Copies of this chain bind each other. A is one copy, B any other.
Amino acid sequence: MARTYTLKKRAESQAETRRRIVEAAIELHCAVGPAQTTFSMVAERAGVQRHTLYAHFPDEQSLLLECSGLYSEREPLPDPAPWRGIEDWRERLRTGLPALYGWYERNARLAANVLRDAEQDPQVREIVTLRWGPTMAAYRDVLGDELSTAQRAMLHLALSFFTWRTLVLESGLKPEGAVEAMVQAVDCARKT
């Protein structure tokens, strides 16, 4: 009676189902944001029974975690490590900011939804802290180590998604214009 049974081909199709679920969830996160995304919606969009969803992801957090994992693998935040080699901090900023603003532009919808929902949903906030926190801290570290306190505050502002959105989407600056504006702003920031 007790017979061994190890998944081989079936493991693949199982992984495929799991991937379809995660993809569907990511699409919904882009469309309406994680907070508005229900298990029912994900199941329907993935073409899967709700049962199947619960089987793969016992709770929302595990699904969120896997979505954010796949997404940051596919569309990673710019790596600040190579910027360390740049001597002049202005030059460093003129390299780093366009990279970050480019990411914001490519991922504007998702970023807006996720940051919005993080404000009231602890689960989403946890994901943001986990996935974006360290990289953002690294940006501040690499780009701000020679700066004064006032300049660091301005750098923090320059790195914010909302700043990019305000300058580019609302004021209509080109990405390069936004970068140059914020480099100047950091440069000009003096002691209070």
The majority secondary structure among interface residues of chain A is helix
Residues of B with C-beta under 8 A to A188: 184-185, 187-188
CB < 8 Å: which of B36, B185, B187, B192 contacts A154? B185
| Cα–Cα, bound, A181→B188 (Å) | 9
Find the residue from A157, A166, A173, A177 having the highest chain B CB count within 10 A.
Answer: A157
| Minimum C-beta distance from A108 to chain B (A) | 12
| Cα–Cα, bound, A177→B191 (Å) | 9
Contact between chains at B116 and A112 (CB < 8 Å): no
A176 near B: Cβ within 8 Å? yes
| Minimum C-beta distance from A9 to chain B (A) | 42
Residues of B with C-beta under 8 A to A167: 153, 156-157
A120 near B: Cβ within 8 Å? yes
A160 near B: Cβ within 8 Å? yes
Q: How large is the interface on A (under 10, 10 to 19, 20 to 34, 35 or more residues)?
A: 35 or more
| Minimum C-beta distance from A155 to chain B (A) | 9
| Minimum C-beta distance from A189 to chain B (A) | 6
A15 near B: Cβ within 8 Å? no
Q: Which of A74-112 contact B (CB under 8 A)?
A: 112
Contact between chains at A171 and B184 (CB < 8 Å): no
CB contact under 8 A between A162 and B166, given known A32-B120, A116-B116, A192-B174: yes
A150 near B: Cβ within 8 Å? yes
Residues of B with C-beta under 8 A to A154: 181, 185
Q: Which of A120-176 contact B (CB under 8 A)?
A: 120, 150, 152-154, 156-157, 160, 162-163, 166-167, 170-174, 176
